[in-house]
Amino acid sequence: MKRQGFTLAEVLITLGIIGVVAALTTPALISDFNNAKTGPTLRKFMSTMENAHQQILAANEASRLSAVTDLDAETYFDELSKYVAGSTLMETKEDVELEPKSYDGTESINMTDDGPIFRMKGGDDFYLSLYDRATLNNYRNEQNGFRANGAYKGTFAVIFYDINGVDVKPNRLGKDIFRFNVDDTGAMIPNGGKLQVQAYGKYGDKPQWEQNWARCDEDGVYNGHSCAGSIMDNDWKVVYQQLQNILNCKLY
């Protein structure tokens, strides 16, 4: 008589194999899923902020953000809260013990100063540093040594955007935190990309993410600072350092 079904041992062995395969493939699948969300999330944030900036300028009958009276960080966030749905002004980075790092986990420049955090409706956050108004009046940032081109008027602020919120790890630049430059016109410029070169002529003719010294992997000097620009330049996709020795910008 032929045997029907499986023995307990066979079932357990099969389940064990399935478990091993799942353990090996699940992290990769999660990483791919998160990477697929990163580009569209950054593009939506960029569009949301630009729309809000244009409404701020229109409401204040101004052509430049720096022309709005006393637009310090808290005033800037108060203005944004009128036009960004579901946003609230949170405590400072010091209060929440936020210690954002570079892509490789080391200390990062321009990211650890105390200041307010802006929480958006989806639980994503951003914080910023504001540029000296005197340099904006000259359309020039003396510290970084570049001049605004065409319709651009100079960097008004640098925004660090955390796509999953400051209370969710890894809090690493180029993984879940991305750097944007806010032009005084209200335009959002992903740091390190072709648009930054077009607007400010910074660092030669190539975007930072195409230069080995500034790519956003563990070996890059500015670990993670050019990831936002790379993602925009690559059709809002996260690009891995495989065929070209330029970028390794994975989310986890």
pLDDT in tens, 31-63: 444 567 899 999 999 999 999 999 999 999 999
**Is 60 exceeded by the pLDDT of residue 248?**
no
Q: What are phi and psi of 101, to 5 degrees?
A: -125, 170
Q: Are residues 178 and 238 in contact, defined by beta-carbon separation less than 8 angstroms?
A: no
Residue 31 to residues 51, 173, 229, Cα–Cα distance (Å)? 31, 16, 20
For the chain, the C-alpha Rg in angstroms (whole number) is: 22
Please write the tens of the pLDDT for every residue from 180-211. Answer: 999 989 999 999 899 999 988 766 778 888 87
Question: How many angstroms from the chain centroid is the CA of residue 205?
Answer: 23
Q: Return the structure tokens found at 144.
A: 């970084």
